[in-house]
């Protein structure tokens, strides 16, 4: 999780909304990448879950975008993707070959916790009341997202004793 | 001729239809994203870019871009890239590969590209292991590392890629990692813009054969931004001092950028051609050179 060139003390509502949209966009793209990696490695259940996350992130992004349009029309963006990194997107190494749906869900849950931490940590520095309210709302939404993933986890049958690590080849000289 | 600046490109324009077969979670997924972003920022059309690699998991990378690519021979990315640059100096030439490709079998080539100051950007995806061949010791593996070729722990000190290229006089040296993708894209872009040989070491975790401490969480714990430390990238000795900490700390950003880049090999060749061309034979009489007068 990293940010660059963002000053929370002077952040405007338009920029805050745009940042939130970019955070969702980044997460959506990362889940798309993970789903494609799972397809490539014939892991359809994890791929299906990552696609479910793609849909979720896209939906949140659309909701935020329509609020942005309502409030600010098509006024140009002054924040960019280079300013944020891995806020709600899972880390690149969170995917694994042949990962179980449980492990895929745990990776998503960890990134929702990470995103909650981001909004929570930013709040004390924010001076503008509307931006503060937006960030508090986004922080609380992360709890809802966590519950969503926890709900999916609860639907899973109990894990088998076999871990997906057991399927990774032992190193062998070639 | 370059058509830079006539069209706007997005990272997606550099993404090919080929699906990466890297293990899910491999650090190289982030490196290819960093390259897409850097290329979009540079804005050269894909057909004006030649991307050469050696052999290894990381060396598959040219195929995942829309640039002209050559997944060549283990350790030979640099001489091939050099030939391409000399034959067609207008191309933007990138070379990439693994730590094994670059610092074991191909280690001897780096010095020569540096001393010639070839205008090539060389990206090494350093995972401290031979990934493709399933986890043998690599030249950057830490001493004591247990692998299938070092069952009782490696007895060798690792090569320090940063000091290696700095000592030979590389004009641009930087380091990046998937812990900061924007930073990675920025240093790759800067390396491409540097007029001469530019080296970017990317700590790219191997999730299958790499060690726990070399995964993203471990890398985050030892990361330090060079800009944040107030490092002056024009100071080569300070860069060498910082580079000594390779393996213990992960300094991210530009270690060294020569403030007065010397002419590239391509510039000198052009000069020499201009000087000699007035007495040169026309193409159709070129064989006369070999006839004894
Ligand atoms: C001439 C030659 N020697 C050895 C090999 C076997 N080989 C293929 S890739 C490789 C090393 C790969 O390690 P690295 O370059 O670090 O790339 P990675 O897979 O880790 O990205 C070796 C030894 C080969 N293909 N050709
Ligand atoms: S073996 Fe390692 S370097 Fe190769 S694709 Fe898998 S994770 Fe990446
Ligand atoms: Mg390697």
Instruction: Say what the pLDDT of residue A4 is.
Output: 80
Nearest CA to ligand 1 atom 7: B133
Q: Could you tell me whether strands B250-257 and B172-176 are parallel, antiparallel, or unpaired per DSSP bridges?
A: antiparallel
C-alpha distances in Å from residue B53, one per residue of A23, A142, A156, B50, B225: 33, 42, 43, 10, 28
What rounded mean pLDDT belongs to chain B? Answer: 95
Q: Is B131 left (phi over 0), alpha (psi -120 to 50) or beta?
A: alpha
Whether the Cβ atoms of residue B47 and residue B90 lie closer than 8 Å to each other: no
CATH number (3.20.20.70, 3.40.190.10, 3.40.50.970, 3.40.50.300) of B2-262 reads 3.40.50.970
Q: Residue B145 pLDDT > 50, yes or no?
A: yes
Distance between CA atoms of residues A49 and A152, nearest Å: 9
Domains identified in chain A and CATH numbers: 9-156 (1.20.1260.10)
Kind and range of the H or E element at A104?
helix A101-122
Mutate which of B32, B182, B202 to test chain A, going by most A C-beta atoms within 10 A?
Answer: B182
User: What is the Å distance from ligand 2's center to B208 Cα?
Assistant: 6
What digits encode the pLDDT tens for the residues B222-242?
999 999 999 999 999 999 999
pTM of the full structure: 0.91
Q: Is A55 exposed, middle or buried (0-12, 13-18, 19+ CB in 10 A)?
A: exposed
Show residues of chain A in contact with B150, CB under 8 Å: none
Q: How confident is the model at residue A64 (pLDDT cuts 50, 70, 90)?
A: very high
Distance between CA atoms of residues A174 and A144, nearest Å: 49
Distance between CA atoms of residues A34 and A47, nearest Å: 7
Domain boundary assignment for chain B = 2-262
Residue B155: Cβ within 10 Å count: 9
Show residues of chain B in contact with A47, CB under 8 Å: none
User: For A2-18, what is the mean pLDDT?
Assistant: 91
Q: Residue B175 pLDDT > 90, yes or no?
A: yes
What digits encode the pLDDT tens for the residues A125-145?
999 999 999 999 999 999 999
Instruction: Say what the pLDDT of residue A167 is.
Output: 55
Nearest CA in chain A to B149: A173
User: For B28-57, what is the mean pLDDT?
Assistant: 97
Closest CA to B194 of B113, B102, B259, B239: B259
Kind and range of the H or E element at B37?
helix B28-42
What digits encode the pLDDT tens for the residues A93-133?
999 999 999 999 999 999 999 999 999 999 999 999 999 99
State both tokens at B36.
Answer: 């897409």
Interchain CB contacts (distance < 8 Å): A and B = 79
Nearby residues of A171 by Cβ (< 8 Å), 6 or more positions away: B134, B135, B136, B147, B148, B209
Instruction: Say what the pLDDT of residue A2 is.
Output: 72
């Amino acid at each position: 999780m990293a940010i660059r060139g963002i000053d929370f003390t002077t952040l405007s509502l338009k920029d805050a909304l745009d940042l939130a949209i970019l955070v969702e966009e980044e997460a959506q793209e990362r889940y798309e990448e993970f789903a494609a990696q799972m397809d490539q490695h014939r892991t359809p259940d994890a791929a299906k879950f990552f696609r479910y996350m793609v849909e979720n992130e896209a939906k949140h992004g659309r909701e935020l975008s329509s609020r942005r349009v309502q409030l600010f029309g098509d006024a140009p963006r002054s924040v960019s993707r280079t300013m944020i990194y891995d806020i709600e997107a899972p880390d690149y190494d969170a995917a694994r070959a042949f990962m179980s749906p449980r492990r895929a869900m745990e990776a998503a849950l960890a990134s929702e916790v990470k995103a909650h931490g981001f909004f929570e940590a930013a709040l004390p520095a924010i001076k503008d009341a509307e931006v503060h309210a937006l960030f508090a709302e986004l922080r609380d939404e992360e709890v809802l997202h966590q519950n969503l993933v926890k709900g999916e986890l609860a639907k899973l049958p109990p894990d088998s004793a076999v871990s997906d690590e057991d399927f990774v080849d032992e190193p062998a000289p070639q | 001729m370059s058509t830079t600046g006539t069209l706007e490109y997005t990272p997606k324009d550099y993404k090919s239809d080929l699906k990466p077969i890297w293990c899910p979670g491999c650090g190289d997924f982030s490196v290819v994203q960093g390259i897409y972003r850097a290329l979009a920022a540079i804005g050269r059309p894909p057909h004006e870019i030649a991307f050469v690699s050696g052999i290894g998991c990381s060396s598959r990378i040219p195929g995942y871009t829309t640039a002209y690519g050559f997944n060549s021979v283990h350790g030979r990315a640099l001489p091939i890239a050099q030939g391409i640059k000399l034959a067609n100096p207008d191309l933007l030439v990138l070379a990439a590969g693994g730590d094994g490709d670059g610092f074991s079998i191909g280690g001897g080539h780096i010095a020569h590209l540096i001393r010639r100051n070839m205008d090539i950007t060389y990206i090494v995806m350093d995972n401290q292991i031979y990934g493709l061949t399933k986890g043998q010791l690599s030249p950057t593996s830490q001493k004591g590392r247990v692998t299938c070729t070092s069952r009782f722990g490696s007895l060798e000190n690792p090569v320090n890629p940063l000091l290696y290229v700095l000592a030979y006089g590389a004009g641009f040296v930087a380091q990046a990692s998937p812990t900061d993708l924007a930073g990675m894209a920025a240093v790759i872009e800067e390396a491409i813009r540097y007029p001469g040989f530019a080296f970017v070491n990317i700590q790219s975790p191997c999730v299958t054969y790499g060690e726990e401490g070399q995964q993203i969480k471990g890398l985050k714990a030892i990361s330090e931004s060079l800009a944040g430390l107030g490092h002056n990238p024009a100071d080569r000795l300070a860069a060498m001092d910082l580079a000594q900490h390779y393996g213990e700390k992960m300094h991210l950003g530009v270690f060294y950028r020569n403030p007065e880049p010397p002419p590239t090999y391509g510039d000198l060749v052009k000069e020499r051609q201009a000087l000699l061309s007035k007495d040169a034979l026309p193409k159709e009489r070129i064989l006369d050179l070999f006839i004894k007068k």
